């Protein structure tokens, strides 16, 4: 399966630092992409609120909620992909195997949804 950003170099910088202060370090292009996606999702949520306020048909509201959840899952998958390709690989190469437990917990959180 090819990544959405294969050859796009959106996550060219390491996504996470290795210091005690956990921070992401995405390229400006990657951040812009993620923020753009989140802005669209924010608009979808406002749209759902508007549908409810206008007493829209329940099935229509549920369909919009489903689309919004899928969009959020897409953002999460992109972040997880970058995290695994950069941060996790780097930490394993440094001998930090605890990162695998951290990733497993993160995946379990995503799968609960």
Which tens digit of pLDDT belongs to each residue from 7-41?
Answer: 445 544 555 655 556 677 788 999 999 999 999 99
pLDDT digits (tens, 9 = 90+) for 68-82: 999 999 999 999 999
Spatial separation of the C-alpha atoms in residues 17 and 9, rounded to whole Å: 18
Which domains does the chain carry? 28-111 (1.20.58.1000)
Contact 11, 24 (CB under 8 A): no
> Do residues 71 and 37 make contact, with C-beta atoms less than 8 angstroms apart?
yes
CA distances from residue 12 to 47, 48, 68 in whole angstroms, order as listed: 34, 35, 27
Phi and psi at 24, nearest 5°, equal -90, 150
| pTM of the entire predicted model | 0.77
């Amino acid at each position: 399966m090819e990544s959405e950003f294969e050859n796009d170099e959106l996550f060219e910088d390491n996504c996470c630092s290795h210091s005690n202060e956990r921070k992401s370090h995405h390229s400006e292009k990657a951040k812009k992409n993620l923020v753009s996606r989140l802005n669209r999702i924010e608009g979808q949520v406002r749209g759902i609120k508007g549908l409810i306020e206008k007493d829209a048909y329940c099935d229509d509201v549920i369909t919009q909620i489903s689309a919004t959840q899928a969009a959020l899952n897409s953002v999460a998958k992109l972040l997880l992909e970058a995290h695994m390709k950069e941060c996790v690989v780097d930490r394993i190469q440094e001998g930090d195997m605890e990162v695998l437990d951290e990733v497993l917990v993160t995946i379990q959180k995503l799968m609960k949804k």
